[in-house]
Chains A and B, each alone.
Chain A
Amino acid sequence: MSDNRIARVWTSIAACARREGAPVSLRHVCVACAAAVDAEGATITFSGGGNAVPGVLLSSRPSFDEVEELQVSLGEGPGVEAMRGLGPVLVDDLASLESSGRWPAFAPAAVALGVRAMFAFPIQTGAARIGVLNIYRSTNLPLLGSELADALAYASSALVMALDQRGGIIPDMDDPQNDASPHWRTEVHQATGMVSVQLGVGMADALASMRAYSYSNGRRLSDVAVDVVARRLRFEPDGPLATDSRDNETDRSAQTGTPREDEER
């Protein structure tokens, strides 16, 4: 049921990498996504250090880099807006009055480059922001219901893949059960907030650490999160704490970056 779409999306990304004989990367998300939603191209732009300045970009076709660079240099456009907000920005006609009013410099320039419709999906969960998936069409057609759902699923996959890259995990494309679909339960988000304070890092890195830990310990992310929220498990930058932080913080071991499971008290 719920995982069918995400499983299909993962399969398409893996197939795309296989055709190239290359290891799976975020660029394959762009290529597979563009094909799945019947678009001419897709790019992923990464947010730089949490603010709205996009950095590296990956594209299914070199020509779309130009559109993306335009957006970055002008500082306006659907992708820039999606980077700042919490939801997707979907524009089925960049040549419309509404679009040129909203993005007076970007909209006409993008149309001149042959992009007529553009759909920008944040790659994020809450404040854990990675970047934006931009989808381009040369015709002014909206994304249909299932295309929209697919696009959201590709953005979710990009999130998981980007997080796992940060956490040093090689995503297992053939195992969609490895919590790859980020319909994570409430505790995962609460634990992300807690771990970010414990490690002194942002939400994306906190989530990446939790995923890396669950992966290397063969546990489900949600179970790890429940332990964090119940304060049975802590993540520490300089090594694990032997006791709960509320007791004392003197007992540190030499290991780095690994969490410690506290004894039930």
Chain B
Amino acid sequence: MTLTRLLRRLMMPAFALLLAACNRSGDTAAKPTIALVVKTLNNQFFIDMEAGAKAAADSLGLELIVQAPEREIDVERQMQIVENLIQRQVRVILLVPNGSREIVPAVVKANAANIPVVTVDTRVDAASLAAAGGRVATFIGSDNADGGRMAGAFLVERLGGTAQIAVLEGVPGHETADARLRGFRAALAGVTGMQVVASQPANMERDQAFNVTQNILQSHPGITALFACNDVMALGALEAIAAAGKASQVSVVGFDAQDDARKAISEKRMAATIAQNPREMGRMAVLTAARLIKGESVAAEQPVPISLVK
């Protein structure tokens, strides 16, 4: 019967995919499984975090599932992933929340299923979590506000206390970028010559940063410094600044110390960036998961060191 044959032919690839996936997870059934859920996997920062986590999981004999929404702004999709991993009965969920408040219901669901949640890099909003009766086992990450302060202090020193500054904000309401901005503004607070003339969100994306920077250069052609809440945006801004022929005029500072940013700094195209250590975050997160599985206690906060790269 031609219909059956056609259906069979069309269904084969789908089955092959499923069976391949099945085989892959089949031989590891005995290992305890933990999950790392990051904001997105199209940012080097989280790819590095994944690498650090994978290395640690391999050495400890843990099965690690890494998942992320396609877009960093997709809080609902991240919630779905967490819900699905709860159904998968993973032992620990290592979570980089896309939305510090929005993820709270998912954390509460994990709590109800007795799956410990470890937040990495970005905190869950403490007040919302308390109001919902949820809890997080520990937080592992950098002090982002301190990093923002370092970036601000660096610009004050480099430009002798006088500058017209443009700021590229992250996704509004995201805790990490907000903390960086807070720290950055705090560092400039006492210095009257340091003027923030434009502060616009570019949602942590490179192409948006390019466009926003182009627009800022139209309205404020005299800017001498630009602070971006992550390197992805800083790199987009660099291109826009270069396209406007102002590469020597504007000192650009980013955040995250990605490879591309480090390269731009060594080539003197970019002034500085703040180095976080995502690999170390991933490693510490998995070590913490292993301790939680054994029933050991962990500290409520585990800071990961940061530094200025110039």
A, B in one complex: no
Chain A residues in the interface with B (C-beta under 8 A): none
